[in-house]
Amino acid sequence: MTTPHTVPVAVVGAGPYGLSVAAHLTGRGVPPRVLGVPMESWRTRMPAGMFLKSLPRASSVSDPAGRYRLADFRAASGLPPVGDRYAVPLDEFVRYGEWFQRACVPEVERAAVVGIERARDGFRLTLDTGEVFGARAVVLAGGFPSYARVPAVLRPLVEAGLASHTADHADLAKFGGRRVAVIGAGQSALESATLLHEAGAEPVLVARTGELLFGEPPDFDDPADRPWPVRLAKPGSPLGPGWSFTAFSRATGAFRGLPDATRARLVRTVLGPSGGWWLRERLEGRFPVLTGHELLTAERIGGDGGSGGRSDGGDGGVRLGLRGTTTELAVDHVLAATGYRVDVGRLDYLSPELRGMTARGNGGAPRLSAGFESSVRGLYFTGLSAADTFGPLMRFVCGTGFAARRISRSVAAGPAGSR
């Protein structure tokens, strides 16, 4: 039996995936209670000055009528239309997300969920305001921060303030004048190192890969201008041109039928470590790049009585042991651009009971139904959390439509329609 304080569905998170799910639920006549600060992770956990890796036409949050795309926001803001050669700035995308929220999900409550437990009629949620209420279904759209992965060798340095993950910084300018080792070879690593250099820091990029990879610039601003033989050989898709990308974009539902090992490999490698085409010119030849180097050890120096010290004259620093032509590197700080690992066990706001009941697959990722429902009836996961089940599309904004349509349909149908 429900109580007056039980709502049909609670959406936890107000980023692109949470806002899209909420908009589609509303469109189906299911009023959601949406909790979170709109676009918070994008504003507070991504560095100022960054650009989206996805194309403008693949960077729209989904609404049921398709009337609130990025192109619609630009038109409403008096900005000219843009094509595939336009790199979307972070600040523009945040403004777009907030515009989408005001138009499609005005009821967002700026409160944080600090606890979710099982209840007789579904779930019991506790907010940081102290409020407790019930929900028959819960959609977790909290994004990526909980899943930030830091190599074990760096974790003691994180506690000492000498290492951090890229998700910990919205402004890299504070590293100006300091030497920073950036670990990784993906977009986050390449762009963070570039932004550090442009902010007056001294970055050193350390990457296991033997060569840095960058995307190819679009041949045409408008995909309709591509000659038909080119379109036939490499059809366009939200993820980029090519038959494989087209399959991941258009057969997303079939991805969950692949073997575990195959899914894990594809999620890791499709559009895997590489930088946006527009980043190459800003990076190459600007600062040291150590490709073919693996991080082996990391120890604190200087501040605890060791030798060395920070290049800015302060106490402390880090000595890295590497496998490669350079075997040792002394820096002031280490920035781990080492991605994210989805693991339900890291979601502290879920009760131990719920974490234990949620069936998991690769690396601790939740196993999801065709409707994005976990093994716990009424508990849904979307966005990055769903990538292991539905593939690389879930790592990008262009996946919001597929996820929101399936989740809203499943929630509206009730238990019988969730699998």
Quote the pLDDT of residue 305. Answer: 41
Spatial contact of 94 and 44, defined as CB atoms under 8 Å apart:
no
352 touches 112 (CB < 8 A): no
Q: Is the pLDDT of residue 210 over 50?
A: yes
Q: Is 173 left (phi over 0), alpha (psi -120 to 50) or beta?
A: alpha
Report domain extents, the chain.
6-147+340-417, 152-211+274-336
Distances in Å between the Cα of 283 and the Cα atoms of 163, 218, 286, 293 are 22, 19, 6, 18
Average pLDDT over residues 245-259: 85
Domains 6-147+340-417 and 152-211+274-336 share a fold: yes
Per-residue tokens: 281: 């010119």
Question: pLDDT for 28-70, tens place per residue?
Answer: 999 999 999 999 999 999 999 999 989 999 999 999 999 999 9
418 band by pLDDT with thresholds 50, 70 and 90: very low
Characterize 391-402 residue by residue with b for buried, 16 or more Cβ atoms within 10 angstroms of its Cβ, and e for exposed.
bbbbbbbbbbbb
- Residue identified by tokens 């709109």 is 38
Mean pLDDT for 376-392 is 95
Average pLDDT taken over every residue of the chain:
91
Contact status, residue 52 vs residue 187, Cβ threshold 8 Å: no
| Per-residue pLDDT tens over the stretch 257-270 | 999 999 999 888 88
Q: Residue 415: what pLDDT? A: 58
374 falls in which pLDDT band (50, 70, 90)? very high
Strands 179-183 and 333-336 turn out to be parallel
Residue 364 to residue 251: CA distance in whole angstroms: 24
Whole-structure pTM value: 0.91
- pLDDT tier, 310 (very low <50, low <70, confident <90, very high otherwise): very low
Q: Which of 361, 124, 111 is nearest to 256 (CA)?
A: 361
Distance from CA of residue 41 to its chain's centroid? 9
In angstroms, the Cα distances linking 401 to 131, 286, 397 are 31, 39, 9
Work out the burial of residue 3: count CB atoms within 10 Å of its CB; fewer than 13 is exposed, 13-18 middle, 19 or more buried. Answer: exposed
Please state, in angstroms and rounded to a whole number, the distance separating the CA atoms of residues 384 and 382: 7
Segment 165-176 mean pLDDT: 94
Percentage with pLDDT > 70 across the chain? 95
Is the domain spanning 152-211+274-336 CATH 3.40.50.300? The answer is no
Residue 127 has pLDDT above 80, yes or no: yes
Please check whether residue 300 is in contact with residue 162, taking contact to mean a CB–CB distance below 8 angstroms: yes
Classify each residue of 215-252 as buried b or exposed e, where b means 16 or more C-beta atoms within 10 Å of its C-beta.
beebeeeebeebeeeeeeebbbbbbbbeeebbbbbeeb
Mean pLDDT, range 314-332, rounded to an integer: 90
Amino acid at 380: Y
Fold of 6-147+340-417: FAD/NAD(P)-binding domain (3.50.50)
